[in-house]
Amino acid sequence: MASDAPVGRIASRPRAAGLLLGGAGLGLVGYLLVRLSGTDPDSLLAYVGGAFLVVGQLAAVVGLVGVAWLVLRG
């Protein structure tokens, strides 16, 4: 099928897909850490969770751009 070609290219280059999935997972962990910290503004857990959330979002965006590049390139 014609739709199998982009899937094959993405599967052969797992770095972009891994960044997308890893970034999403890291973002979820960061979100959970922020939620667990409660309403304490001086909580170190909230700062660590926020950092995880931001880094996870950046990694997911880079992974998404990589996957889009692979799909549009071919």
Which stretches within the chain are classed as H helix?
4-12, 14-37, 44-73
pLDDT digits (tens, 9 = 90+) for 14-62: 788 888 889 999 999 999 999 999 888 789 999 999 999 999 999 999 9
Tokens of 74: 């071919």
Task: Look at residue 36 in the predicted model and tell me its pLDDT.
Answer: 93
User: Residue 36 in contact with residue 49, Cβ under 8 Å?
Assistant: yes
Hey, how many other C-beta atoms are within 10 angstroms of the C-beta on 60?
A: 19
pLDDT digits (tens, 9 = 90+) for 61-71: 999 998 888 88
Q: Would you list the domain boundaries of the chain?
A: 17-73
